[in-house]
Structure 1
Amino acid sequence: MVRRRSGGGRVTQADVARLAGVSQTVVSMVLNGTGITQHRVGDDTRRRVLDAIERTGYVANPIAQRLAGGNSALVGVYTYEPVFPSSAGDFYQPFLEGVEREAQQRGVDLVLFTSMSAHHGGPLVDGGALHRLRVADGCVLLGRHSHAQDLVALASQDFPYAFVGRRAAPGVTVPFAGADYDEATAVVTRQLLELGHRRIGMVSVTPPHESIEDRVRGYRRAMRAAGQLPVTFEDPDLTSGEFFGTLAEHGMTAVLTVSDLAHDVYSAALARGLRVPEDLSIARLGDPEQREPSVVDWAGFTIPRIEMGAEALRIVLRQLSASDPHGDEPDQDLQAFIPCETFTGSTIAAPPTATTRSTTKETSHT
């Protein structure tokens, strides 16, 4: 399913078939067929296949054979952050639930890797722990603070894995099941535009992360398509009047916020005497990792966490069961974007009138 080989790598049944001048089905019949099936392959064809096997040094993939025979595989789950403390449990639990549900449906056993301890925050390759993942046939990886060097190393080892969430690493195709933050953010931006907002800002964080980059891309795409100027605020100081003063100065009537900053922006706006959404519309882009201190009827979108976990496991299993994992099928088979669910909530509304904006501007500067 994935192009991991560029002139080298493990020999596959497809390589044997090409050398012998037969179909891959014939190679499989020679290797695995019995009785009537074996008789369907002529002696000359069988000799060519066996000769090609000897010349290439082909060794059958026992994991793929087990899966093809309906037997269980063992798939690991590794998390870069602790996911069981109550402060983070609500966020990560649906990802794990999706993995578990899919494993039950597929008859797959899971093993949770805990001895490698991601608490130190460093890459697995630095501690020599990456090889422990091979206790399993493949692995689902999860966590915000991942490391590109781990993903490069896994690709070089031809180890089946998939990340929950979009990940990128230099020179390799990273298998992942990610949320379509780009399109979801564009949809929310268009909702604000349809309500009449024209000057819409986005509150983001640094350093950039794939999920943040996707959100910013969707916001900019929607704003430019509407002929409006996108303006991004990175790590704004919400304790002073500078941020809200800038919004008022430039007539900005709505902001999109990455999920973990949404409640801070909301609370800071109320503390400045702004009404949400009458004076300022605020949309939250996703679910926060930490529990929010109060309940807000947010507008924005939610992350399809259960489906992301399930699809990540499916991607691992596709790699394990592929008869030719080094073939010519497109890399996109290993990368999935899952739609987010958008909703209006009560934190966005039509922009205030010119009179109201003038009053708001004065309030923001006080």
Structure 2
Amino acid sequence: MARGGRLTQRDIARLAGVSQATVSLVLNDAKAAEGRIPEETRERVNKAIRETGYVADPIARRMAKGLNRILGVFTYEPAFPSAQADFFAPFLFGIEETAQQLGYDLLLLTGAASPGGKRKIFHENNRLRLADGCVILGRAFDRSELKRLVAGDYPFVAVGRRDDAGRPVPYVGADYVSATANLVRRAKARGHTRLAYVGPSEGAESSVDRWRGFQSELTGAELALHLATVGGEAVEMFNSIRRSGATAVFFTELADAIVVEAAVRAQKLSVPEDLSIVVLGSHIRPAQTGTRFTSFSIPREEMARRATAMLAERIETNSKGAQELLACEPVEGETLGSLNKRTKT
């Protein structure tokens, strides 16, 4: 045994009755070992590793294979404040689960903040290169950093659809266009032809995609009101919606839907009898809101799983990655009523 009691590859080779080169190949290149080393020999090496609890030196493995078996996770916003927890938690669950299955450790990158407090990927204090590649999350990405990433050789995958940045950005996102269009079709099928929209039409790709889906299904209906600024005063929003004559309102933010619903109740009116409300996806569980809003579910955990698997493939095969959109399942809820039925009564 090596000085200081630490097991080495030489110790494993002696116990298994093989050469140190054989141990190194089994540890560092399992696929090559399958073709070059008999199964019985590989099993002797693995048995010695299991029985001794040997753990390969990560620095030595990096020198041999060029990998640390570490995936970075970078978020443009803090991942753990309570206000953000329900947004990031499903992503982190999916990343952790898949990384463990693939035999990678995770490195959460938090130290690279600019003087203004905004996190930067390319920062003098960023330890990005300690990881073999990085999963990147955030509501909005820095476009200049994306351009540097796609132009470089560092493997990364974005969670969420991202516009090209000089070159295609590898990502796994949610199909907000189709999901939003489906909800508009459902509203029209229930007789709603004057629609309101509360949310931006530009900015982050997720906002643009929702707006595109909404606009794509306006045939046979009209946009009675568009409030681009979210987080407005509840009564003011409610009054604007009522003055517009809209019978169904689409919100990009659940918080706005909640306060407007409360304003409806304060006026002795009800949802959906007097006003239908649709939420375009939510990161807060229904039990937390008290009302099951008509919406669609965003497959956040699956997005993160696929992104992590794609990143591992990029690292191990030097592939370019892909662009994948996952379907959002409709949530029936209880806030989209039938205008036809209301007219009859």
2: CA distance, partners of 1:84 / 1:35: 45
* Residues 312/34 of structure 1: CA separation in 2 closer, same or farther (3 Å cut): closer
How far does residue 240 in structure 1 lie from its aligned partner after superposition? 4.7
- Structure 2: gaps (5+ residues): 1-31, 37-60
How far does residue 238 in structure 1 lie from its aligned partner after superposition? 4.0
Q: In the alignment, what sits opposite 2:329? A: 341
Q: Secondary structure of 2:315's match?
A: helix
Q: Report matched runs for 1:1-366 at 5 Å.
A: 73-117=69-113, 120-125=117-122, 127-129=123-125, 132-205=127-200, 208-224=203-219, 227-230=220-223, 231-235=225-229, 237-241=232-236, 243-260=237-254, 261-288=256-283, 294-322=289-317, 325=319, 334-351=322-339, 353=342
1: CA distance, partners of 2:34 / 2:119: 51
* Residues 334/211 of structure 1: CA separation in 2 closer, same or farther (3 Å cut): same
Would you say the 8 A contact 1:74–1:108 is kept in 2?
A: yes
TM-score, with length taken from structure 1: 0.68
1: CA distance, partners of 2:212 / 2:34: 55
2: CA distance, partners of 1:294 / 1:198: 27
1: CA distance, partners of 2:74 / 2:165: 21
1: CA distance, partners of 2:268 / 2:35: 83
* Residues 181/274 of structure 1: CA separation in 2 closer, same or farther (3 Å cut): same
Identity in percent: 35
Q: Secondary structure of 1:124's match?
A: coil
* Residues 292/215 of structure 1: CA separation in 2 closer, same or farther (3 Å cut): farther
TM-score, with length taken from structure 2: 0.72
Q: Secondary structure of 2:313's match?
A: helix
* Residues 89/122 of structure 1: CA separation in 2 closer, same or farther (3 Å cut): closer
2: CA distance, partners of 1:147 / 1:291: 32
How far does residue 207 in structure 1 lie from its aligned partner after superposition? 6.0
Which of structures 1 and 2 has the larger relative contact order (alpha carbons within 8 angstroms, sep 6+)? 1
Q: In the alignment, what sits opposite 1:29? A: none
How far does residue 170 in structure 1 lie from its aligned partner after superposition? 3.4
Once the two structures are superposed, residues 49-93 of structure 1 have per-residue CA deviations (whole angstroms, 9 ceiling, x without a partner) of xxxxxxxxxxxxx98x959xxx87321111111112223222211
Aligned pairs, number: 285
Once the two structures are superposed, residues 161-185 of structure 1 have per-residue CA deviations (whole angstroms, 9 ceiling, x without a partner) of 0111122253121111111111111
RMSD: 3.3
Q: In the alignment, what sits opposite 2:44? A: none
Would you say the 8 A contact 1:72–1:107 is kept in 2?
A: no
* Residues 292/259 of structure 1: CA separation in 2 closer, same or farther (3 Å cut): farther
How far does residue 228 in structure 1 lie from its aligned partner after superposition? 2.3
